[in-house]
Chain A
Amino acid sequence: NAGVTQTPKFQVLKTGQSMTLQCAQDMNHEYMSWYRQDPGMGLRLIHYSVGAGITDQGEVPNGYNVSRSTTEDFPLRLLSAAPSQTSVYFCASRFTGGYGYTFGSGTRLTVV
Chain B
Amino acid sequence: DAKTTQPTSMDCAEGRAANLPCNHSTISGNEYVYWYRQIHSQGPQYIIHGLKNNETNEMASLIITEDRKSSTLILPHATLRDTAVYYCIVRGPTGTASKLTFGTGTRLQVTL
Which A residues are within 8 Å of any B CB, using their own CB? 4, 31, 33, 35, 40-45, 48-50, 56, 58-59, 88, 90, 92, 94, 96-106
User: Which of B43, B45, B46, B95 has the most chain A CB atoms inside 10 A of its CB?
Assistant: B43
Given A42-B87, A42-B104, A88-B41, check contact A48 B46 (CB 8 Å): no
Given A42-B103, A88-B41, A105-B42, check contact A99 B34 (CB 8 Å): yes
The chain B residue with its CB closest to the CB of A102 is B46
Query: Which chain B residues border A102 with CB–CB below 8 Å?
Result: 46
Question: Secondary structure of the B side of the interface?
Answer: loop
- Please tell me if B98 contacts chain A, counting CB pairs below 8 Å: yes
Give chain B interface residues in 26-83, CB to chain A under 8 Å: 32, 34, 36, 41-46, 49
- Residues A106 and B42 in contact, CB atoms below 8 Å apart: yes
- Residues A43 and B46 in contact, CB atoms below 8 Å apart: no
- Please tell me if B9 contacts chain A, counting CB pairs below 8 Å: no
Instruction: Give min CB distance, A37 to chain B, whole Å.
Output: 8
Question: Secondary structure of the A side of the interface?
Answer: strand
- Residues B98 and A50 in contact, CB atoms below 8 Å apart: yes
Given A42-B87, A103-B43, A103-B45, check contact A96 B102 (CB 8 Å): no
The chain B residue with its CB closest to the CB of A104 is B43
Query: Which chain A residues border B103 with CB–CB below 8 Å?
Result: 42
Roughly how many angstroms separate A44 CA and B49 CA in the complex, as a whole number?
20
Give chain B interface residues in 90-109, CB to chain A under 8 Å: 94-95, 97-105
| A-B CB proximity, top 10 nearest | A100-B46, A103-B43, A42-B102, A43-B102, A31-B98, A103-B44, A90-B43, A42-B104, A42-B103, A48-B98
Query: Which chain A residues border B97 with CB–CB below 8 Å?
Result: 56
The chain B residue with its CB closest to the CB of A105 is B43
Given A103-B43, A104-B43, check contact A97 B95 (CB 8 Å): yes
Roughly how many angstroms separate A49 CA and B101 CA in the complex, as a whole number?
16
Query: Which chain B residues border A104 with CB–CB below 8 Å?
Result: 43
Query: Which chain B residues border A88 with CB–CB below 8 Å?
Result: 41
